[in-house]
Structure 1
Amino acid sequence: MSTTSTTTTDANRQRMRQVMAELDKGNGKPFVDAMADDFSWTIPGDTPWSRTYSGKQVVLGELLRPLYAQFATPYVSTTRRVMADGDMVIIEFEGRVTTKAGKAYNNRYCYVCRMEGGQMKELMEYFDTALVSAALEAPSSPALAA
């Protein structure tokens, strides 16, 4: 591995370790700050939440705000692993929260992030899709809201 690649790997790993350490304390601001303006977040599968959210403002408005609006308790995460190779960072963590409907939404996640210039450019999120369908209400469709 070249020195540049090692430096990039180390910088990206450290950046996301810091971001996730803050998220684990309940501070989501560094996570949002780490998103590039043209950031995209993809949720594969066939849940009502599954699609690619393109652009930081779309991620905030169509994914994160509707998601957090369903939570009755503060979201608590526990990061298990942060691994990096060049511009790719893999984050393994768990989240716990109770929804306003009284359902436990305790999921395990794997984020695969592509970094550029210290910012997240792309995120692919893997999780228990059956739990998402059972515990969360479907988000409103952006097309219907317009």
Structure 2
Amino acid sequence: MTIARHFITTAALVLALANSDFALAKPEAETTERNKQFIAQAFQQWTAGGGTFFQDVLSPDVVWTIKGTSPAAGTYRGRDVFIKQAVAPFAARLSSFVKPTVNDIWADGNDVVVYWDGAGVAADGAPYNNSFVWIFRMQDLRATEVIAFLDLTQYDAVINRIPLDKQGYTQGSNQQHP
């Protein structure tokens, strides 16, 4: 094989590999953008007053992990378990739902990271403000895994300050929350 032919063969091989990498990168970029847009839209709907964020975003068998050392920290297996054990007890102690303000969203393939601030009002009238980082692992536009970082002292303060009766009502309230 002549040097010229070797050079042409090598160049053709490099070009073929480059084209195959490009072909693989395009679907990855599409996946990244699709997942990022899905999560961004879900947060926009939540901000606008939509109350179905967790049902819309989480797969039924999601594994949600809250990092930290609070009693609320840990791993929740399943959307219904997470809502029942972490979301509902907190929401029952609020007079207004937490409204998110997204600061930034990053995505890479099936991973989406959202940095956001939340503001609401507790049932006792005190403001609730917190900052969050949620890391979503997506599959078919549903989160199958989520890792959540937040100031759990703020969450725990609401839980500990506002008792619920046996039916899940805040004291002096006639409404049961989800």
TM-score by length of 1: 0.87
Q: Does residue 1:28 correspond to 2:51, yes or no?
A: yes
The residue number in structure 2 matching 1:83 is: 106
Q: How far does residue 30 in structure 1 lie from its aligned partner after superposition?
A: 4.1
Q: How far does residue 24 in structure 1 lie from its aligned partner after superposition?
A: 1.0
Q: Does residue 1:94 correspond to 2:117, yes or no?
A: yes
1:110 alignment partner AA: V
Query: Within 2, Cα distance between the matches of 1:31 and 1:25?
Result: 15
The residue number in structure 1 matching 2:144 is: 121
The residue number in structure 1 matching 2:85 is: 62
Judging by fraction of residues, say which structure has more helix.
2
Query: Within 2, Cα distance between the matches of 1:18 and 1:47?
Result: 30
Structure 1 residues 42-77: Cα deviation after superposition (integer angstroms, max 9, x where no partner) = 111111211111101111211211111010123221
Structure 1 residues 134 and 64: CA distance shift in structure 2, 3 A: closer
Query: Within 2, Cα distance between the matches of 1:92 and 1:122?
Result: 16
Out of 112-121 and 25-34, give the one that drifted further. 25-34
Q: Does residue 1:134 correspond to 2:134, yes or no?
A: no
Please say which structure displays the higher CA radius of gyration: 2
The answer as to whether partners of 2:90 and 2:158 remain within 8 angstroms in 1 is no
Q: Secondary structure at the match of 2:128?
A: coil
Question: How many pairs does the alignment contain?
Answer: 139
**Structure 1: which 5+ runs fail to align?**
139-146
2:36 alignment partner AA: R
Of structures 1 and 2, the one scoring higher in RCO (CA 8 A, sep 6+) is 1
The answer as to whether partners of 2:58 and 2:142 remain within 8 angstroms in 1 is yes
The percentage of aligned residue pairs carrying the same residue is 26
